[in-house]
Amino acid sequence: MKRAFLSTIVLVVGIVPSLTNAQTPQKPDRQVAVTIDDLPAGMADRLPASQITAMTTKLLGTLRDQKIPVVGFVNEKKLFKSGEADERIKALQMWLDYGFDLGNHTFSHASLNQIGLKDWEDDVLQGESVLKILLASHKMKLRYFRHPYLDTGRDLLTRRNAEAFLVERGYRIAPITLDGWDWAFAGIYEDAKQRNDTAMEQQIVKDYLAYHDAVFAYDEQLSKTVVGYEPKQILLLHASNLEADHIGELLDLIRKRGYRFITLEDALGDSAYSLPDTYVGEEGTGWLEHWAITQGKIPQGAPKFPQWVLDRSKELRLSTGQVAAPTPY
Ligand SMILES: [Zn+2]
């Protein structure tokens, strides 16, 4: 009798979730392109080539298994470390071997807001040499460019001149609309990993996922205010052990928000990327903010980045500027 009663309960409980599902409004059809910057690795100056290869293998394995189209953006300066150039170039080559695309992120990760236009253009050109050879061997062409630090120029003339230079070189500028500052989590994660501090690793991953979730929610709202709808979004990530170890959890989170993954080319076909954009500023930022500021709207209510991550980065004397590229040779 007791057993029969229990099975009735189980049956009822089993029905409830399906009713709930039927009543839930359909998930929106959201789309996002994934881009990964600072190749071969954000912390290339601190990691030996063997670790860069291991990190790349793990990261690309997950992305390939899950069929995520990705464009990786390269700083070639990080390839030229004495005795390691061949292995570092091989790690880069893996991106193409696995079926991903590569773009230029300047040779030395130079900011257009910090150096003159001519020097910056030289840094763009210097960043093409290895890339062009690798892409040609895969019958591919160098198509995409991403501004280091998202710095697009401190005045509109510089910005427009740089853009004209890039277009003339055959580049399509790759904007971003979603940025969860993964590089800041990645720096302290690397330290925790090397010390085998699993408690801290877990805390970092928890906050990295929660912050990304909050950033997505915020930018979906901002999209509606600024664009009028949620455009095909472009996510900015960085090549790191944090991503190699945990990007699968991030991809799950993104899917749960109703997204499917598309190519950068597909995303750039969204007319949002032709919206008026006269943004200039000391600080590089995402394109939703560009469009908002161009429209005279001040974005408000952005999620607060966990202060303890910034404090810990300072403690470890980690750069807050994404990369410190090594001196070649
Ligand atoms: Zn970068």
Cα 22 to ligand 1 centre (Å): 44
Rounded CA-CA distance 246/240 in Å is 10
pLDDT given for residue 26 in this prediction? 67
> What distance in angstroms lies between residue 294's CA and the mean position of ligand 1's atoms?
24
The reported pLDDT for the residue numbered 28 is 76
**Ligand 1 center–CA 243 separation, angstroms:** 15
Q: What is the DSSP letter of 281?
A: -
Position 265: which residue type?
A: E
Report how far ligand 1's centroid is from the alpha carbon of 2 (Å): 63
Q: What is the pLDDT of residues 221-247, one digit of tens each?
A: 999 999 999 999 999 999 999 999 999
Q: Cα(173)–Cα(103) distance, rounded to whole angstroms?
A: 10
CA of 218 to the centre of ligand 1 (A): 23
Helix (H) / strand (E) containing 37? strand 30-39
Measured from the Cβ of residue 110, the count of other Cβ atoms closer than 10 Å reads: 24
Residue indicated by tokens 């992120």? 105
Gap from CA of 146 to ligand 1 centroid (Å): 8
How wide is the angle at C-alpha 151 spanned by C-alphas 148 and 152, nearest 5°? 115
- Give me the torsion for CA of 41, 43, 46, 50, rounded to 10°: -20
In this structure, how many other beta carbons lie within 10 angstroms of the beta carbon of residue 308? 12
CA nearest to 295, candidates 281, 276, 280: 276
**pLDDT score of 1:** 37
Cα gap 276→246, rounded to integer Å: 36
Angle between the N-to-C axes of helices 241-256 and 49-65, in degrees from 0 to 180, rounded to the nearest 10 = 20
Q: Who's near 76: CB < 8 A, 6+ residues apart?
A: 107, 126, 127, 128, 129, 130, 131
Report the separation in Å between the CA atom of 220 and the middle of ligand 1, taken as the mean of its atom positions: 24
Distance from Cα 108 to the centre of ligand 1, integer Å: 10
pLDDT at 328: 28
Cα 14 to ligand 1 centre (Å)? 49
pLDDT of residue 270: 98
Rounded distance from Cα 41 to ligand 1 centre (Å): 10
Distance between first and last Cα of the chain: 80
Centroid of ligand 1 to alpha carbon of 240 (angstroms): 12
Which residues does the chain have with pLDDT short of 70? 1-27, 319-329
Question: Taking a C-beta distance cutoff of 8 angstroms, is the pair 207, 22 a contact?
Answer: no
179-228 pLDDT tens trace: 999 999 999 999 999 999 999 999 999 999 999 999 999 999 999 999 99
Q: CA 32 to CA 121: how far, in whole Å?
A: 30
* Residue 77 CA, ligand 1 centroid: distance in Å: 12
For residue 44 the two structure tokens come to: 């290339």
Structure tokens, 123: 């840094």
